[in-house]
Amino acid sequence: MSALLDQIVRIAVDAGKEIMAVYEAGACTTETKGDGSPVTEADARAEAVILAALAQVAPDVPVVAEEEAAAGRIPECGGSFFLVDPLDGTKEFINRNGEFTVNIALISGDAPVAGVVYAPALGTIWAGAAGAGARMAPVADGVIGAWSDITVRPANDGPIDVVASKSHMTDETKEFLERYKVGQLISVGSSLKFCQVAQGLADLYPRLGRTMEWDTAAGDAVLRAAGGMVKSIDGTPMRYGKRQQADDVDFANGWFVASGAAGLF
């Protein structure tokens, strides 16, 4: 697992180079997919790099990737498969605020067992795997710096800091937070919210809105490796590989809460 995680880290950084080439070139063409979400040249270029590299390092493991799925190309998934979001936070990319990420996760059974989140514009990468803990490192010009171990905050009796979506702060989320004594409300984009909780910068990330599995799997893996947990709103651990759902499309998530210390949710 450790060797595979190192390979995924390298793949994410290489995909980030493609994203930054488009980002630094300035305005890019944006299209709208069938679900209403935007997609850019950077999404396509990053996904192509990731798919080619994963086919080399793990040829027998299926890959469910966002843009491939949007085109209707979804492989049969057995006990293990990769979930890939080549550019999570496309709106942040278009708005040029830097808060977008490359997400690559390995699913085993129905749980994320390894994941990498890379924020190329911010120059930071996070990685984690079951049984191996979580870590983060700076990245400059494609070179990964020294790794630092990360863990979630311990429980305390004071106010909790909450991280939330910049683009998706719903009335339901505001109502949910009324049950807590909230200190700071931190707003960031993409899967960076999971990483904020994983490295102890926040205590809770509620998402009472729709997401897809490729949006959450990598951040979920890092958070679990750091000692946290992601649960569906019914209190059960988030599951992956959801197909033939009666109330939504394949790989769609329901509402969830990501937390650091046990007992917060």
Give the predicted TM-score (pTM) of the model.
0.95
| Confidence at 166, pLDDT banded by 50, 70, 90 | low
3-state secondary structure of 251: coil
> Tokens 């490359």 sit at which residue?
102
Q: In 3D, which of 208, 204, 215, 194 has the Cα closest to residue 262?
A: 204
Residue 211 confidence (pLDDT) above 70:
yes
Q: In 3D, which of 170, 194, 13 has the Cα closest to residue 86?
A: 13
Return the percent helix, strand and coil in the chain, to nearest 5: 30, 30, 40
pLDDT for the residue 170: 81
pLDDT for the residue 219: 98
Say yes or no: domain 160-259 is CATH 3.40.190.80.
Answer: yes
Known binding-site positions for substrate: 66, 87-90, 215
pLDDT for the residue 83: 98
Residue 263 confidence (pLDDT) above 90:
no
Known binding-site positions: 66, 85, 87-90, 215
Known binding-site positions for Mg(2+): 66, 85, 87-88, 215
Domains of the chain, residue spans: 2-150, 160-259
pLDDT for the residue 40: 87
pLDDT for the residue 168: 67
User: Could you read off the pLDDT of 52-61 as tens digits, one per residue?
Assistant: 999 999 999 9
CATH fit for domain 2-150, picks 3.90.1150.10, 1.10.1060.10, 3.80.30.10, 3.30.540.10: 3.30.540.10
Rg of the chain over all Cα atoms, to the nearest angstrom: 17
